[in-house]
A and B are shown apart, each in its own frame.
Chain A
Amino acid sequence: MDEGEFDDFYAASFSRITAQLYAMIGNRDEAQECVQEAFVRAWAHRRRLDSAEHPEAWVRTTAYRLAVSRWRRTTRSRRLADRAVGPPTETAAPSEANVAVVAALKQLPEAQRRALVLHHLCDLPVQAVAHELGVPEGTVKARLSRGRAALAALLSDDTNGGLQEGASHV
């Protein structure tokens, strides 16, 4: 992947991957920073990126792992020191509907949330989701089924606090 190809790839996929990661982790700024860092690593390891079947999936997975790693450190309040890319950016808030869905997603178990996002947001078939998550297809189908049911219940239950910021995270 030469400079031009990388720049095109970056421009075409940055926003999309950030949205996908946001849905997975529920924190927009965090999502953007992790995706930014994932692209830095993608360029640093571009030969590996060349051999990846789906470069976008490589960046998404790397960004997700960075987010998980950061979240673990954040829980012990050492957050600012590890910002690899830069300070938090000021971005416009997503729509109310998106916030509601993402907030509901945050209350699902992490495995269900990732499966839902990859299948419904990234539009990946079950087989590709299974490949990216490293689990059998049957497991993905079960997670999707349970996740859809749980998400529907959360979004229809306005009185249950289902849309509140959940305690669960990645």
Chain B
Amino acid sequence: MSDPFDELRRLSEQGLDVNPIPASEVRRRGDRLRRRNHALAAVAGVAAIALIAVPLSLVANGNDRSAPDPANHSSGTPTTAIDNNWLQAIPSGFDLTALPSDATFAYEARMHTVVDDLTFCGDLTFSTRQRDAAGSVVDTAGADYAEPGTESSSARSLVLYDDDAAAQSALERIRSKVLACPTNIGPGDQEVRWAPAEVTLAADDAFVFTEQVPMGGGLLADLSVIQVARVGNALYLSSLHTSAGGQQVVDTEVPRAAHFSAPVLSDMCVFAADPCGTPPSASSSEGTGEGAVSAIPADFPLLDGYPSDDQSEGGDNGRKGPSTTLEPLVPEACGSSVPVPEHVELLRAGWKNPEDFRERQLVTFARTEDALAYQDAILETYTRCTTEDTSDGYTSVTTVLDSEIGESSGVAVTHYELDGNPAIGLTTVHVVQVGRAVLVSTIHNEGGGGPDPTRQAYDAMAGSEDQLAGVVPAMCVFTDDGC
């Protein structure tokens, strides 16, 4: 037999007898492939514009009074903006019952305030039923919830003042009274204790305190966590009550209450000095998320760019989600992990096939700075962990790169080495921030093994950016300016 390599070379030189499709058809299909990727992003953008455009007409510091009549739940107060443009009525679409998607209960809307008449050490400190010393209340709304068969309950009030100074004054009075009156004897000689609580709420100013009742023997019970938060000329009050008490319960309930309030506090940006668009009537808790700057739209294209299910090998392979119940992603490196911090909503999705594992997580926050902090925490964790020995004898080597998608983004690309030589396996963690949202996208596959890790990392980043081409543009809905 002749030299087999001569045969190989002849094969290459002569080529095979092939029947390729015409070049024009190749280009046409290539153009279609390209258009498909861009079209999804464009559709998402158009949808977002439609969601934002109507609410913008409701914002009162413009002069457009074609907004739906807010009188359907207002207390008959003026519906026009006064000179300084503070909103003078709660928009009919404002949803005080909004809850994060993981909440297992629902509020019922009320016409008027529910948390009211706060009295400390004999002083009526807050009330909307009387002329408030802080200034005139121009509109109110309420919502409450009671768990059947238990003493757990919760209530919310939204109070709109003439202006931000009046709202701030009301908040300050509550804060100063609580701090000045840590304990009091209430009706029936029952002692009541108040104490400020440490938690951050997304608002112009906020004060959170607890109310508990001593039960003897150093025990406390009947805990209420009360939040008072101001955004612009609006004051939000929330009370979350449980029959239990004590520091351990406080430590659990205070952040829980903050989590529940996040969607409403986010929507309260409509009352801010520099207001966002008003949400429409759909509730954030219903999963539609329409128009709410931190709510995730029901049709958010989190799966975009993943192969379809029929491209998987079946079984438990293929796509998963989008879902709010999938286990949250917790990036980890060198023993440090970054759990999902306090947030408004979270959506997960993924794709799995042999040697191909992809996960995505979209997290929305009440404030852009919270989104940026989460993104920074993830990338910083990888930046501090450039090499790490794995349990199976390999060494992971991570490169963190700046990416150019979204408002800000970065990529951590990890390859593996065995005895100093490149090994198979490549993990890409893309962290993209747009407005109040952060997208975490991970890809793990059989890539890697290349002699040039830097080039490999850039290639991995480019590949990830391609896959996210239809997702990131749709995140414009989470910006104050919209899409």
Write the residues of chain A forming the contact surface with B, with a CB cutoff of 8 angstroms. 3, 6-7, 10-11, 14-16, 18-20, 22-23, 28, 31-32, 36, 39-46, 48, 72-73, 75-76, 78, 81-82, 85-86, 89-92, 94, 97-98, 100-101, 104, 116-117, 120-123, 130-131, 134-136, 151-152, 155-156
Give the B interface residue count (CB, 8 A): 43
Interface members, chain B 375-427 (any A CB < 8 Å): 421-422
Complex alpha-carbon distance, A117 and B24, angstroms = 30
Q: State whether A44 touches B5 (Cβ < 8 A).
A: no
Q: Which 6 A-B pairs have the closest CB atoms?
A: A15-B15, A43-B30, A134-B450, A44-B30, A7-B23, A92-B17
9 contacts between A and B (CB under 8 A): A3-B27, A7-B27, A10-B26, A19-B15, A22-B11, A22-B16, A36-B20, A78-B314, A121-B9
CB pair A18–B7 under 8 Å, yes or no, is no
**Chain A-chain B contacts (Cβ-Cβ < 8 Å), number:** 139
Chain A minimum-CB-distance residue to B355? A72
B29 contacts A123, C-beta separation under 8 Å: no
Q: How far is the CB of B467 from chain A (nearest CB, A)?
A: 13
- B-side contacts of A15, CB under 8 Å: 15-16, 18, 20
> Does B450 contact A117, Cβ atoms closer than 8 Å?
no
Across the interface, do A36 and B422 meet the contact criterion of CB distance under 8 Å?
no
The reply to whether the CB of B83 lies closer than 8 angstroms to some CB of chain A is no
Indicate if the CB atoms of A82 and B31 lie closer than 8 Å. no
The residue from B4, B23, B353 contacting A101, defined by CB atoms under 8 A apart: B4
Q: Which residues of A contact B13 (CB under 8 A)?
A: 16
Q: How far is the CB of B426 from chain A (nearest CB, A)?
A: 11
Any A CB within 8 A of the CB of B103: no
Q: Is the CB of A81 within 8 A of B30?
A: no
B1, B10, B26, B462 interface centre (most CB from chain A within 10 Å): B26
Other than the given A32-B19, A41-B30, 13 more pairs (CB < 8 A) read: A14-B20, A16-B12, A40-B29, A41-B33, A44-B31, A72-B313, A76-B314, A82-B310, A97-B1, A97-B7, A101-B8, A121-B9, A123-B9
Using CB atoms and an 8 Å cutoff, list the residues of chain B in contact with chain A: 1-2, 4-5, 7-21, 23-24, 26-27, 29-31, 33-34, 310-311, 313-314, 353-355, 421-422, 449-452, 456, 462
A6–B27 contact, CB under 8 A?
yes
Q: Which of A19, A28, A73, A122 has a CB less than 8 Å from the CB of B313?
A: A73
A32–B18 Cα distance when bound, in Å, is 7
Q: In the complex, how many angstroms separate the beta carbon of A75 from the nearest chain B beta carbon? A: 8
Contact, CB under 8 Å: B15 / A120: no
Which chain A residue shows the least CB distance to B317? A76
| Chain A proximity of B239: nearest CB distance (Å) | 56
**Does A6 lie within 8 Å of B17, measured CB to CB?**
no
A64 smallest CB distance to B (angstroms): 13
The CA-CA distance from A44 to B26 in the complex, in Å, is 9
Q: Are B17 and A91 in contact (CB under 8 A)?
A: yes
Chain A residues whose C-beta falls within 8 Å of the C-beta of B9 in the assembled complex: 120-121, 123
- The docked-state distance in angstroms from the alpha carbon of A31 to that of B310 is 22
Contacts of B23 in A (CB 8 A): 6-7, 10-11
* Contact between A121 and B16, CB atoms less than 8 A apart: no
Report yes or no: A40 in contact with B26, Cβ–Cβ below 8 A: yes
Which residues on the A side are within 8 Å of B11 (C-beta)? 19, 22-23, 94, 98, 101, 121
